[in-house]
Amino acid sequence: MEKIVLDGEFFNAKDTLNCGQLFRFFSAGVKKDAYFVNSLDKRCLLYNEGKNAVIECEEVDRAYFENYFDLSRDYGAIVSAAEKEGGILSVAARLGKGIRILNQDRTETLFSFIVSQNNNIPRIKGIIERLSAGAGQKREFYGEEYYAFPTAEELAAKPLEFFKEIGLGYRADYIKRLADNFDGTFDASEFSALNTNDLKKKLTSIYGVGPKVADCASLFGFHRSDSFPVDTWIEKVYKENFNGELHDRAKIADFFVDKFGENAGYFQQYLFYYKRSLEKQEL
């Protein structure tokens, strides 16, 4: 087992995992405030200990998780850039400075965010686990069994009824069609070569993928930081803190990308975290 230890000032496990960018993480009983994090067929243990962030993983997976958690990026510089913007963003960045944007597998991210449409987090997580248990391969880590996220081929082998039975509802058709036509629909290397605007156009050409899913896949799967997913929390930020008058979420996203440029995606996470945390305190 490998243990990666780094300064935790800009890496908070709980904040990073709970900011809406991934769904396959679980409280781990092996350590206090620790989480198992799944990606494809891999799993690691993530926690903060004192002033450090710690990742435990299989030796063969070390490089994968170093990239997955974006360890080579200077998040101190990103937080400083946010603080220079002043106002609400400065406050939000100080509060959420431990958040990192992960480098997730593009295929898993696309399927996962199709599942997430008009859905809540507990239900999304439950559906994805049933999807994995029903179509993925069994694995073991830290003495616990888990299931790998299925490949497109494994998903294509399942009938439409399987996707309906695990609770996907109308999304079952989206997942099944994407899996059945995967090679002809989604080429990660081809999509990666596109600029961000063309990438989003290509993603929204996929059956069942709208602007919000395309923004999430762009930011969390392709790490296009000039993407800005807009949900209920971000819409509140826009209206309450930026005096926004637009109602079209795609146009709201464009507003923030125009304002923040290449840092838009990082700033989105700070603003999302800030608004949701503030709301919870007021309840």
What is the distance between the alpha carbons of residues 22 and 129, in angstroms, rounded to a whole number?
13
Beta strands in 138-272 (DSSP E): 138-141, 144-147
The answer to whether 213 touches 124, Cβ cutoff 8 Å, is no
- How far is Cα of residue 229 from the mean position of the Cα atoms in its chain? 11
- How far is Cα of residue 237 from the mean position of the Cα atoms in its chain? 20
Catalytic-labelled residue, pool 212, 236, 251, 259: 212
Element (H, E) at 101: none
Start-to-end Cα distance in the chain: 42
Q: Is 145 helix (H, G, I), strand (E, B) or coil?
A: strand
Task: Reply yes or no on whether 14 is catalytic.
Answer: no
Which residues form the catalytic set? Answer: 212
